[in-house]
Amino acid sequence: MELAPPSGSYKTDWEELTREQRCSRAWVEIDLDAIGENVAQIRTKLQPNTAVMAIVKADGYGHGAAYVAQAALRAGATWLGVATVWEGVELRQAGITAPILVLEAISDRDRVITAREHQLDLTVAFTKQAVALSNLFSSSERPLPIHLNIDTGMSRLGVDWTEAESCVRLLRCLSGLELKTIYSHLATADEPDTTMVHEQHRRFETVLHRLRAIGCDQPIHFSNSAGAIAFPELHYDMVRVGLALYGIAPAPHLADQITLRPAMSVRAKVTQLRTLPPGRGVSYGHRFISERETKLATVGIGYADGVPRLLSGRLAVAIRGQLAPQVGTITMDQLLVDVTELASVEVGDTVTLIGADGHQRLTAQQWAETIGSIPWEIVCGFRQRLPRLYHLASGLIEPTPGIQPTSGVEFGDGSSKTNEASDFKYGNGI
């Protein structure tokens, strides 16, 4: 039996919903001014001629790639980095024209052609890939821009550092390709033990010495957020900044070396209040039993939205500037909070899970430490069913229906910002 599509309209038009309706249960707030401030703070760590590549993969670490990209470019970043071709395409469809580097290694024809059509630069990570790309573009009037990834210790992606010189010699023999930059990636820059950082630096310098000897002088980039903050000798021509862009230090021991402002807040609404007698079980498995008369608030957010179930009974939230413990098992769409000690709570009150409420500061780092994770995983985990609200000092930016804006982000003064695609730009060449 063939299924027929439903008759009539069965989808609610996002544009027809008020902001209050969209955020009736839970939402994510993104402070775009914080993104700009974080770029500015990072740039204070750099030499004037060191550029910033803003890493906006994974939908801008869950913050919204196009909005973050525009804010970062406005603040002085000159390049964008994404993981996949499709992430780069989405930025182009959003009207962003700044140079974009795809960090994954691809060689299949369809994705390569798509990247070329959208003016995306590609990473080369192994020689067979380079040959495949050359075969596709050997007769092209315009060479394909490529960036050589050299593995100096990550053991994930890239040409082994001992083979880098031979790879560059091969690239020189291949037609249809233009080598734009050479880069590597730090494996342990966010760890207190810096031994491997220095070893990777030694290996990379060995490679660069050999490449300079054969006349290879392409721009170099090596540092991630931790490297940009803690290792000025590793800045080279550009740094690739991910987590710090979003206002989170890549490690607790680096937090006092730079002033960052978290851009993401996660909030939800109290949807019901009830008073339980002593001895009443709460949520699945009854892992919390009330020991006294307990005032309980149901909050409209759960693990399907990105609140890890592992936080059950280990999470604090803020309501009206006061902390309250989450109790019982976190469920798919809701969680429960003991508000007995709070002076006043009403249905409809805003609950802050991550972000600021009065003097309270709740962070993704705290969540990560509680469950043995990392803040990257926390912020990337908030699902798209949570609407995003984008703020500037001048006011709220209404999200465009779909995943991205269409011709640049409008800023509060009515202006917009895009960066033209170009050759490699140094930090003072904005």
pTM as predicted: 0.88
Domain 32-245 top-level CATH class? alpha beta
Helix/strand/coil (H, E, C) string of 352-387? EEEEEECCEEECHHHHHHHHCCCHHHHHHCCCCCCC
| Confidence band of 397 (pLDDT split at 50, 70, 90) | confident
414 to 63, 68, 392, 394, 417: CA distances (angstroms): 22, 18, 12, 10, 10
Least confident of 31-35, 389-393, 415-419: 415-419
Query: Catalytic: 180?
Result: no
| Pick from 398, 389, 362, 358: nearest CA to 378 | 362
Q: What is the pLDDT of residue 394?
A: 73
| Pick from 147, 142, 144, 74: nearest CA to 115 | 144
> Distance between CA 260 and CA 37 in Å, rounded?
8
Q: Fill in the amino acid letter for 372.
A: G
Contact present, 353 and 268 (Cβ < 8 Å): yes
The ranges assigned to domains in the chain are: 32-245, 264-362
Q: Does the pLDDT of residue 22 top 80, yes or no?
A: no
Question: Residue 1, Cβ neighbours under 10 Å: how many?
Answer: 3
296 to 25, 163, 270, 272, 281: CA distances (angstroms): 17, 62, 10, 8, 12
149 to 41, 122, 164, 239, 337: CA distances (angstroms): 27, 10, 9, 14, 48
Residue 210: its H or E element: helix 195-213
Q: Does the pLDDT of residue 91 top 80, yes or no?
A: yes
> Distance between CA 428 and CA 356 in Å, rounded?
34
Fold of 264-362: Lyase, Ornithine Decarboxylase; Chain A, domain 1 (2.40.37)
Q: Does the pLDDT of residue 410 top 70, yes or no?
A: no
Query: Catalytic: 57?
Result: yes
Question: What does pLDDT average to over the chain?
Answer: 89
Q: Which of 61, 67, 246, 284 is catalytic?
A: 284
Contact present, 226 and 190 (Cβ < 8 Å): yes
Contact present, 112 and 136 (Cβ < 8 Å): yes
Q: Which of 45, 57, 180, 425 is catalytic?
A: 57
Chain segment 154-204, per-residue pLDDT in tens: 999 999 999 999 999 999 999 999 999 999 999 999 999 999 999 999 999
Q: What is the pLDDT of residue 420?
A: 36
Region 10-36: what's the mean pLDDT? 74
Q: What is the pLDDT of residue 168?
A: 97
239 to 128, 156, 231: CA distances (angstroms): 27, 19, 11
Region 34-57: what's the mean pLDDT? 97
| Pick from 308, 342, 343: nearest CA to 325 | 342
Region 78-103: what's the mean pLDDT? 98
| Confidence band of 21 (pLDDT split at 50, 70, 90) | low
Contact present, 107 and 132 (Cβ < 8 Å): yes
> Distance between CA 133 and CA 137 in Å, rounded?
6
Q: Does the pLDDT of residue 415 top 70, yes or no?
A: no
Q: What is the pLDDT of residue 422?
A: 35
Question: Residue 98, Cβ neighbours under 10 Å: how many?
Answer: 23
| Pick from 329, 264, 328: nearest CA to 303 | 329
CA 401 and chain centroid, separation: 20
